[in-house]
């Protein structure tokens, strides 16, 4: 390969900034070998996901290097959470534009370490290259989920309740704040830049088999619940007034009702949407309290063509238009 890294050789960059993140994890073999070698614990399945994030398309270019690292990690660990898997390892392919300062890479690597700490996942390998195009990061995340307890999108049953974790719409509103379309708001900006994957709650949900289907909300609440409907061949009805909002989001929606549509369809939430039989309601509530995470019932699964309907405060179906994630 003739790729030249931004400063010095690719190996220097890896050695200086990324190798320390793998230190102490035997599976990385010190990042000195051609590949990592992992054991899958007995009774578990290996769950693998990958996501490419391109500057100016999937994240704002002017975010700090640490914020971008948190975003890249959060998006991927959220996909593991959606399956009820506990994170074990990540692999990073980083494309840096030629003029990227080494200080930027150092801050990014530090952010990567911070974002992974406490998740159970270690950086076990990857590659860095320079590109004439925009900065881009492809992270592959590996996790373990207990056999026969992996959460999927396809198990929702007629009569199930629909739940979400956390608050919805903060990421999409945060993006509008960061791009000057709404007033600056540090809370919403952080929710956009540093999504917190809900894998701790998801693992417990999977372990207890309380949920019938699960998805993480990246494309927007309506669209992602729609993904459960498609995979499960059911319909969903959600009540807009039940959708949990942060104080910042509630204030914005109160001032401008049209922002409710942004909340319901905007994406970038990285919360979980899941379905569960009504008999599990009190167990789910207790689990949410135990894990210190807000969990809210927002709707019901019904018979019908795979579709999500969102009802307004007087029970009329809302017109959400296109209803899916729109890139920057």
Catalogue the E-assigned strands of the chain: 44-54, 86-97, 122-131, 136-146, 161-165, 213-216, 235-239, 272-276, 295-302, 308-311
Report the residue number, 100 or 218, with the smaller CB distance to Mg ion: 218
Any contact of residue 79 with Mg ion (CB under 5 A)? yes
Any contact of residue 185 with Mg ion (CB under 5 A)? no
Report the residue number, 130 or 218, with the smaller CB distance to Mg ion: 218
How many residues line the site for Mg ion (CB under 5 A)? 3
Query: Measured from the CB of residue 75, what is the shortest distance to Mg ion in angstroms?
Result: 8
Measured CA to CA, the distance from residue 78 to residue 272 in angstroms comes to: 8
Tokens coding 15 = 């050695």
Query: Measured from the CB of residue 83, what is the shortest distance to Mg ion in angstroms?
Result: 9
Report the residue number, 79 or 196, with the smaller CB distance to Mg ion: 79
Count Cα neighbours of 22 within 13 Å in the Cβ-side half-sphere: 25
The stretch among 28-36, 76-84, 285-293, 316-324 that binds Mg ion (CB under 5 A) is 76-84
C-beta separation of 162 from 128 below 8 A: no
The stretch among 1-9, 74-82, 285-293, 310-318 that binds Mg ion (CB under 5 A) is 74-82
Report the residue number, 79 or 269, with the smaller CB distance to Mg ion: 79
**Phi, psi angles (nearest 5°) of residue 126:** 155, -160
Nearest CA to 49 among 276, 317, 270?
270
Measured CA to CA, the distance from residue 301 to residue 307 in angstroms comes to: 10
The stretch among 58-66, 79-87, 136-144, 287-295 that binds Mg ion (CB under 5 A) is 79-87
* Chain centre to alpha carbon of residue 61: 19
List, as one string, the DSSP characters of 234-276: -EEEEEGGGS---HHHHHHHHH-TTHHHHHHH------EEEEE
Report the residue number, 18 or 192, with the smaller CB distance to Mg ion: 192
Any contact of residue 196 with Mg ion (CB under 5 A)? no
**Site residues (CB under 5 A) for Mg ion, limited to 200-229:** 216, 218
The stretch among 1-9, 75-83, 116-124, 255-263 that binds Mg ion (CB under 5 A) is 75-83
Report the residue number, 79 or 170, with the smaller CB distance to Mg ion: 79
Q: Starting at the earlier edge strand, list the strands of the sheet with 235-239.
A: 213-216, 272-276, 161-165, 295-302, 235-239, 308-311
Report the residue number, 228 or 298, with the smaller CB distance to Mg ion: 228
Query: Measured from the CB of residue 136, what is the shortest distance to Mg ion in angstroms?
Result: 19
Query: Measured from the CB of residue 303, what is the shortest distance to Mg ion in angstroms?
Result: 26
Query: Measured from the CB of residue 217, what is the shortest distance to Mg ion in angstroms?
Result: 8
Query: Measured from the CB of residue 194, what is the shortest distance to Mg ion in angstroms?
Result: 17
The residues of the shown chain that bind Mg ion, judged by CB under 5 A, are: 79, 216, 218
């Amino acid at each position: 390969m003739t790729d030249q890294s931004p400063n010095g050789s690719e190996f220097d960059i890896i050695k200086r900034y990324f190798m320390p993140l793998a230190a102490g994890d035997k599976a990385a073999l010190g990042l000195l070998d051609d590949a990592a070698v992992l054991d899958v614990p007995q009774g578990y399945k290996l769950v693998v996901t990958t996501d490419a994030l391109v500057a100016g398309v999937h994240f704002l270019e002017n975010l700090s290097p640490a914020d971008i690292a948190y975003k890249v990690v959060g998006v991927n660990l959220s996909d593991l959470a959606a399956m009820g898997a506990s994170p074990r390892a990540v692999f990073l392919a980083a494309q840096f534009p030629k003029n990227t300062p080494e200080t930027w890479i150092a801050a990014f690597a530090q952010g990567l370490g911070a974002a992974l700490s406490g998740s159970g996942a270690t950086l076990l390998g990857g590659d860095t290259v320079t590109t004439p195009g925009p900065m881009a990061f492809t992270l592959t995340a590996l996790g373990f989920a207990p056999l026969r307890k992996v959460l999927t999108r396809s198990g929702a049953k007629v009569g199930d309740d629909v739940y979400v974790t956390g608050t919805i719409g903060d990421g999409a509103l945060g993006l509008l704040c960061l791009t000057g379309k709404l007033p600056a708001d540090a809370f919403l900006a952080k929710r956009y830049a540093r999504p917190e994957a809900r894998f701790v709650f998801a693992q417990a949900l999977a372990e207890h088999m309380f949920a019938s289907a699960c998805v993480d909300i990246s494309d927007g609440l309506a669209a992602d619940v729609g993904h459960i409907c498609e995979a499960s061949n059911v319909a969903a009805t959600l009540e807009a007034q039940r959708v949990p909002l942060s104080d910042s989001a509630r204030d914005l929606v109160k001032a401008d009702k049209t922002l409710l549509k942004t909340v319901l369809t905007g994406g970038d939430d990285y919360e979980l949407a899941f379905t569960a039989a009504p008999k599990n309601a009190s167990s789910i509530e207790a689990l949410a309290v135990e894990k210190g995470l807000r969990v809210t019932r927002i709707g019901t699964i019904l018979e019908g063509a795979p579709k999500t309907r969102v009802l307004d405060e007087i029970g009329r179906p809302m017109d959400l238009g296109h209803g899916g994630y729109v890139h920057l």
